[in-house]
Amino acid sequence: MANIDAPFGFRQVGGLGSRPTSEGTSKYVIASGYAGAVYAGDVVEFGAGTGEGGNAIAAGYVGEAAATSSIRNVGIFNGCFYDDPTTGKPTFKNYWPGSVTVTNPAAGATAFVYDNPDDLFEVQANSTLVRATVGRAVDMGYTAGSTINGRSKEELDVTPGWCDSVCV
């Protein structure tokens, strides 16, 4: 039976070396009103005020990474915290729904990101991953994540002709 194509983004599975096993995240900021949805397991990048990922990410903030972006990736998104403008209550979500103008726009929303370069992740590929591909840069295949569980649907794009553009 063939493997099922059911992408789930990047899942942290450990780290390299003999380090403390905190597997913690670092805090970054999502700009209030940022239009792109970002799901747990998505790759995020710093904005430069241009249209990375199809949505402009303000300089100094993080947002969804695009497969063809030339901006350096920060890490893997693992949820966010903000004051919901509808309820006025502090809210934690596995995903950033996009276009939320938080109660305190100057502060933005807190994004929790796995950014340790020694972290190890599991991710699905959209085709057979051959040994020659290991250790090389590949594109990402991206489909909008799930608003039910907040999980990403990113996967590696290793189909023939992969990495024809700027690779991740």
Q: What is the pLDDT of residue 21?
A: 60
Tokens of 5: 């194509």
Residue 68 lies in a domain: yes
Determine the Cα–Cα distance for residues 124 and 127; give it in Å rounded to an integer.
9
Residue 83 lies in a domain: yes
Tokens of 102: 């938080």
Q: What is the pLDDT of residue 30?
A: 95
Residue 103 lies in a domain: yes
Residue 76 lies in a domain: yes
Give the range of the structural domain holding residue 103, as residue numbers without chain letter: 25-157
Q: What is the pLDDT of residue 139?
A: 73
β-sheet bridge partners, residue 82: 91
Residue 110 lies in a domain: yes
Residue 5 lies in a domain: no
Q: What is the pLDDT of residue 52?
A: 53
β-sheet bridge partners, residue 38: 96
Q: What is the pLDDT of residue 123?
A: 87
Q: What is the pLDDT of residue 117?
A: 85
The answer for residues whose C-beta is within 8 angstroms of residue 86's C-beta and 6 or more apart is none
Q: What is the pLDDT of residue 141?
A: 76
Residue 75 lies in a domain: yes
Residue 98 lies in a domain: yes
The ranges of the chain with pLDDT < 50 are 1, 162, 164-168
CB atoms within 10 A of CB 12: 17
Q: What is the pLDDT of residue 130?
A: 76
**What are the CB-based long-range contacts (under 8 Å, 24+) for 20-26?**
23/114, 23/119, 25/78, 25/112, 25/113, 25/114, 25/115, 26/75, 26/112, 26/113, 26/115
For the chain, the domain total comes to: 1
The sign of the dihedral angle between the CA atoms of 91, 93, 99, 104 is positive
pTM score of the predicted model = 0.82
Give the SS3 label for residue 15.
strand
β-sheet bridge partners, residue 62: 46
Contact 67, 140 (CB under 8 A): yes
* Predicted confidence (pLDDT) per residue in 121-156, tens digit: 888 888 777 777 777 667 777 778 888 898 998 888
Contact 59, 166 (CB under 8 A): no
